[in-house]
Amino acid sequence: MELSKELLLKFYKDMVRIRNFELKAEELFLQGKLPGFIHLYIGEEAIAVGAMANLRVEDYITSTHRGHGHMLAKGASMRKMMAELYGKKHGYCKGKGGSMHIADVSIGVLGANGEVGGGLPIAVGAGMAIKLQKKDSVVISFFGDGASNRGAFHEALNWASVFKLPVIFLNENNQFASTERVQETTSVENISDRAVGYNMPGVSIDGNDVIAVFETVKEAVERARNGGGPTLIEAKTYRLKGHFVGDPQLYRTKEEVDLKWPNEPISRFEKKLFEGGYLTEKEKEEIWNDAKNEVEDAVLFAEQDEYPAPEEALEDLFEDSTNCLY
């Protein structure tokens, strides 16, 4: 398939935006400006970007604790994301959720999730709604290799298959679940092999190749839109940073990580773009600068924003909280 220059550059720009957001989040966290935990998506950008290029606003995703990249690729506001990371009033969750709980229901982002695998049943629910409404929307549920060992994963796949729901289960196998290597906790070599048990197509791809992700997800999305049911895709990648910022990483060596950097998705794709004559040094510089400026603007927005007033902690539990707070 020939992809347009426009699309290829969009892939690149979106990956660079995510990378810059994450680098900034890391820096801010280390400066003590962000409360809570931050799980970085560095090295995994090709998956969110390649996948999301197939989606429309009316399509849904469910995300994970490592969700910043998914949000940005689906079109979330960087300003509101950053403000949430700060715990400020105009963040996505008005300071109640933080990094792991960002949602933007208006653009189909049905939530990051602090519970590993928590998004899978939610995605199935969105798939049922689509089917009942006779729409041609789809859902992509992102989850890690670790999440694929939870009961929720198995139940969700079976369910989606039985009801032929338009759900794409997009596994981001970054080789680790916190401190645990995938080989130590997972019984199959390819997580996509598990699709057999649920009678759906399953495929493993190079998750650091944005075009491969785009094309594989495209096929699955088309099948889902046409009533062909769910697909399990495993995108193999590598988590280049710690599980969270500050992780001492006692479970792997620096040498191992250094060896993986040359395969990271952005510089790899960049080389291709240069070779194909799609990108010049000057354009590259502009794209990086634009991304940095966008991130700086988001940081400024977040820093100038105020903290919520303490009493706001009592809002948002119900539509009508009358008499519910005691």
Partner 1 sequence: MREITFSEALGEAILEEMSRDPTIFTYGEDIAKQGGIFGAYKPILGKYQDRIIDTPISEEVIFGSALGAALAGMRPVAEFHFADFLFTGMAAIANQIMKFKYMTGGQGKLHLILRGPDGISKSAAAQHSESIETIFMHIPGIKVIIPSTPYDMKGLFKTALRSDDPVICFEHKMLYRMKGPVPEEEYYIPFGVADVKREGKDVTVIATSRMVHESLLAAQELEKEGVSVEVVDLRTLVPWDKETVFKSVKKTHKVVIAHETWRRAGWGAEIAATIQEELFDYLDAPIRRVGAKNVHIPFSPPLQDFVVPDKNSVIEAVRSVL
Q: Which residues are near ligand TPP by CB under 6 A?
A: 64-66, 114-116, 144-147, 172, 174, 176-178, 239, 243
DSSP 14: H
Ordered strands of the 167-173 beta sheet: 60-62, 139-144, 167-173, 231-236, 202-206
How far is Cα 43 from Cα 271, in angstroms, rounded to an integer?
A: 16
In the set 27, 184, 222, 303, which binds partner 1 (CB under 8 A)? 184
Q: How far apart are CA 325 and CA 314, in angstroms?
A: 8
Closest approach, Cβ 17 to ligand TPP, in A, equals 20
Distances (CA, A) of 66 to 98, 99, 222, 235, 291: 12, 8, 26, 15, 20
Residue closer to ligand TPP, measured from CB, 115 or 297: 115
CB 141 within 8 A of CB 153: no
Q: How far is the CB of 301 from partner 1 (least distance, A)?
A: 16
CB of 142 to partner 1, least distance (A): 15
Question: Which one of ligand TPP, partner 1, none is in contact with 127 (Cβ closer than 5 to 8 A by kind)?
Answer: none
Q: Output 18 or 299, the one with its CB closest to ligand TPP.
A: 18
With CB cut-offs between 5 and 8 Å by kind, which of partner 1, ligand TPP, none does residue 66 bind?
Answer: ligand TPP
Contact of residue 250 among partner 1, ligand TPP, none (CB under 5-8 Å per partner type): partner 1
Q: Which of 28, 48, 93, 138 forms a contact with partner 1 (CB under 8 A)?
A: 93
Q: Within 10 A of 203 (CB to CB), how many other CB atoms are there?
A: 15
Does 178 contact partner 1 by CB under 8 A?
A: yes
- Residue 174 partner contact from partner 1, ligand TPP, none using kind-dependent CB cut-offs of 5 to 8 Å: ligand TPP
Regarding 146 and contact with partner 1 (CB under 8 A), the answer is: yes
Selection from partner 1, ligand TPP, none that 36 binds (CB < 5 to 8 A by kind) is partner 1
Smallest gap from residue 42 Cβ to ligand TPP (A) = 12
By the 10 Å C-beta count (0-12 exposed, 13-18 middle, 19+ buried), 50 is classed as buried
Fill in the amino acid letter for 165. L
Residue 181, SS3 per DSSP: strand
Q: Where is 169: in which H helix or E strand?
A: strand 167-173
Residue 12 CB, nearest distance to partner 1 (Å)?
33
Interatomic CA distance for residues 211 and 265, integer angstroms: 10
Report the length, in residues, of the chain. 326
- Pick between residue 101 and residue 243 the one whose CB is nearest to ligand TPP: 243
Identified binder of partner 1 from the candidate list 24, 79, 101, 223, rule CB under 8 A: 101
Binding piece for partner 1, criterion CB under 8 A, among 38-46, 72-80, 184-192, 271-279: 184-192
Q: In 3-state terms, what secondary structure has residue 180? A: strand
**Helices in 149-209 by DSSP H: which ranges?**
151-162, 182-185
Q: Where along the sequence are the contacts to partner 1 (CB under 8 A)?
A: 35-37, 84, 87-88, 93, 95-98, 100-101, 113-118, 146-147, 149-151, 177-180, 184-186, 248, 250-251, 307-314, 317, 324-326
